[in-house]
Amino acid sequence: MLPIKSKVICAMSGGLDSSVAATLLKRAGFDVIGVFMKFWSPPKKNGLIGAPNRCCSPEAEIRARKVANILKIPFYVFDFSKEFKKRIVDYFLEEHKKGNTPNPCVVCNKEIKFGLLLEKALSLGADFVATGHYARKVQGSKCKMQNNNSKFKIFRLLRAKDKNKDQSYFLWMLNQEQLKRILFPIGDYKREEVEKLARKFKLPVLKAKKSVEICFIQTTISDFLKEYLKEKPGLIVEKISVNRDKKHSNFKILGKHRGLWFYTIGQRKGIGLSGGPYWVLDKDVKNNLLIVTKNEKDLLKKELICKNVNWISGKEPKLPLEIKAKIRYKTEFAKAIIYPTFSHLRECANIKDKVYRVIFEKPQRAITPGQSVVFYKGQEVLGGGIIC
């Protein structure tokens, strides 16, 4: 049972979901404070001001402030530009340099929205942080803490009521200390219900556009990477055979690429080869080779290795474990079994930390290093990891 008049800092982006979230909290009796976060935007160039970050444009701030005035709640602006650049944008660029395809939204949730903002909220005496994410949390079964005999009721992260809008995939990095302090007011609502509530409460946000792209990129990812990583040409090759010892492959040179970071596994358009179609199959970062295939079935793989795994309960479950996994936000759930670490897999992947092996019941298309694989059991998010 939540204490009466708990103080909640609600992240308000000026959009529909966060505005309705703040309204529901206020009507439920919480002491609500609205906060608009400013993130990094590309700086001025040639004397021109860069376009604002889509998540925190001046128009979005005006809408959020209007909603706060309607609700008669305090409203503040927190500038996290420097931290966002260091923790999110720099991470995004470094991962691309390594040949990976990162998901910055997952890291932003951990580091900024439920990291920096939560730290700031607690320092100001708030009890909770709330957002407009479509997700739910419940307090469930007891869990024994590692190296401790005491037991406590763990917080469980669940999929949203609206399965089409569910954003639990992006929240797999959360831990118990964070979940304890987080509220998801619209997690039990469908999108149409949220729109009806906005009309009912006369909130000026129904025409606000929902941003679905990476917020700090104004045109295309390719343009952004060209600006910050430049080009590094190399060969495009097609694998035609593998030696018996499987240590050496023979390749057919097809052309040149602009830089490995401009391509992702499974990509078909924009490779620039005639006589196709071709799909990006792999990247050899050491030799700067882009490996392509004419056979789309080559993209199907039955297993992956993942690192940086986070178990939301704080404790690794008994393995091996049957789960349903998602290797991308928009992909369907796939039946799989997750296995514990094998030392030889760490060596193969050149990783010092613990890794896990996920084997799927059916082959999955274009398993991509750098993306998140998220583990589900029924409606619950057990955790996730980074594909490597």
As a whole number of angstroms, the distance between CA 370 and CA 364 comes to 16
Q: What gap in Å lies between CA 35 and CA 41, rounded to an integer?
A: 19
Which residues fall within 8 angstroms of residue 121, CB to CB, at 6 or more apart? 9, 35, 128, 129, 181
Contact 109, 329 (CB under 8 A): no
| Selection from 3, 338, 309, 315 nearest residue 142 by Cα | 315
Spot the catalytic one: 10, 55, 56, 215. Answer: 215
Dump the DSSP string for 255-309: EEES-GGG--TT--TTS--SS---EEEEEETTTTEEEEES-GGGGEEEEEEEEEE
**Catalytic residue from among 10, 55, 56, 108:** 108
Residues 84, 85, 87, CA angle at the centre, nearest 5°? 65
Provide the Cα torsion 300, 381, 110, 190; round to 10°.
100
Active-site residue flag, 215:
yes
From the list 246, 234, 334, the residue with the least C-alpha distance to 284 is 234
d(CA 72, CA 11): 16
- The structure tokens listed for 338 are 């997750």
Question: What's the Rg (C-alpha) of the chain?
Answer: 23
Catalytic residues: 108, 215
